[in-house]
Structure 1
Amino acid sequence: MHITYTAATTAAPNSTNEDHLAVGDGWALVLDGAGRYPGETGGCIHPVTWVVTRLGIHLSSCLSQQPEQPLTTIVRSAVEATMADHGSTCDLSDPLSPGATGAIVRVREDRIDWLVVGDCAVVIDQGQDIYTTVIDDRVDHLPNAPIVEGQVRTYSPDYVATVRNKPGGFWVLGSSPAAAEHALVGTLPQHAATRVLLCSDGISRLTERYGWSWQTVMALHESDGPESLIRAVRECEHSDPNPQRWRGKRHDDATVVVMRVTGA
């Protein structure tokens, strides 16, 4: 078995990139910073980029050094290590403490394992235009979620504090080890996949907002590489006639990793 990787990441225009990607021996991950709400500290003195980077470092270390551990165990360990990095400076019991959504894929000789928390995505190309798509969209199905109309449409912070990292709500990585057990996880036989795509929602909005199919996404990547997907997202965003109809930012950080799996 041989695995090759292509990847690209870029910040939203006039912004700092709060996404993070990493690849290793048979694995890849993408993280997307879950930032602060205006006027909220989240009990933490660190920038979102610090939290995301620390989490990415610990996940990478665990994936490399503990290849036989379940992905949920690896994620729990990485979250605990990230929490320890804060020391006594931060109140991580604050439900709005900054963190990240994430997607992890690990390819073994006999199977492909994945774990997704939040609005990152894993898309597995099984050939013949068959795709297994894993997106944790619980944040889009919260009961009676109040929408705040501002520069962007979003949920009220007071409401988010009642459902973030709570059963029946949604989960992010960073300050709650229990998020590992609430992730979406799964496995496919290794021979069932030819390519695996991981991305932040800055890329998956091609399908969620702009009507692309994953077949079209994969075909563009195949012909023009990962940067072409970021260019396509920006073109869609700039030509959007009514960006206020969406919940969330008009532009977002965009990150994609594609793993190509070939035979021994």
Structure 2
Amino acid sequence: MQTTALVPHAHLPRAHHDRHVLTSTVDVFGTAHWLLADHAPQPGGDALPFDALVVSVHQGGDVELTELSAVRARWPHLDRLPDGGFVVAASRTHRYEDADQVQVFDALGRETSSFSVGDAIEQLLVDEAGHIWVGHFDENPVGIRRWSPTGHIYWTSDDANIPGLFDCYALNVSGTAAWACPYTDFPLVEIRPGRTDRPVKVWANRIRGAKAVAVHGERVAFYGGYGEERDRLAHGEVTETSVEPTDVGLLTLPDGSLPGRRRAVGRGSRIYVQTQPFTAWDVFDLSI
């Protein structure tokens, strides 16, 4: 079986390794971000809100620090806005009955707006225009939505006729478009809300359970799967109506070992992967 090794992308500076990583992501421009707290959250035991620190590592290696005031989410999603601000969101709403679930911070770390997008956030990614794409998991099967940073819905999958959209397993946001591979039917879905002719395109797909997807021209790669396929990297070609599998192998860490617990973020032709202790991001690029 063919093996593909990830390539190192970004590392959290050692000066910040004494703090707890609440979450981490790679934004649409390739900058890696870590949301840090003084200690790990304790269910029902921590006083909210709390202050946090975002450490951003740009592709050239420059490091930027942003202190966020009064964060309310113990187990958050994070992404950066094009203006330098940040979005922090709690995946569940039932813990936030008296407060909005999504917080938007400016470049100085001050909260500028807050709103709720619905329970059970599986994926949250910001595009180049500053729109917030949210995909939900199956405890709240509302599908995929695109929001403004002030809480206005710009697009929803409600009438998009995406088959079997109950859980947004994989979401890839690049430029101002999104790609998804949702449970239960796992079609490959392209979403371009600004396109007047077929803003949503759907291709049948036989590759099940992928947790991340990368797209480059007519080529596509799916990462992850069920059980023994959790480290699978499956390649395919996009035809008129379906994705035809072309190759399957394993995606490993740069040293050749298999990832354990991991995060994965899809951005265009790239899939970024982060494993415990969540202090480094590695990357696979389909275009290379």
- Whether TM-score is above 0.5 comes out as no
Q: State the structure with bigger RCO (CA 8 A, min sep 6), 1 or 2.
A: 1
For the superposition of Structure 1 and Structure 2, which TM-score range results when normalised by the shorter chain? under 0.3
Q: Give the structure-2-normalised TM-score.
A: 0.26
* Structure with more strand by fraction: 2
Q: Give the structure-1-normalised TM-score.
A: 0.27
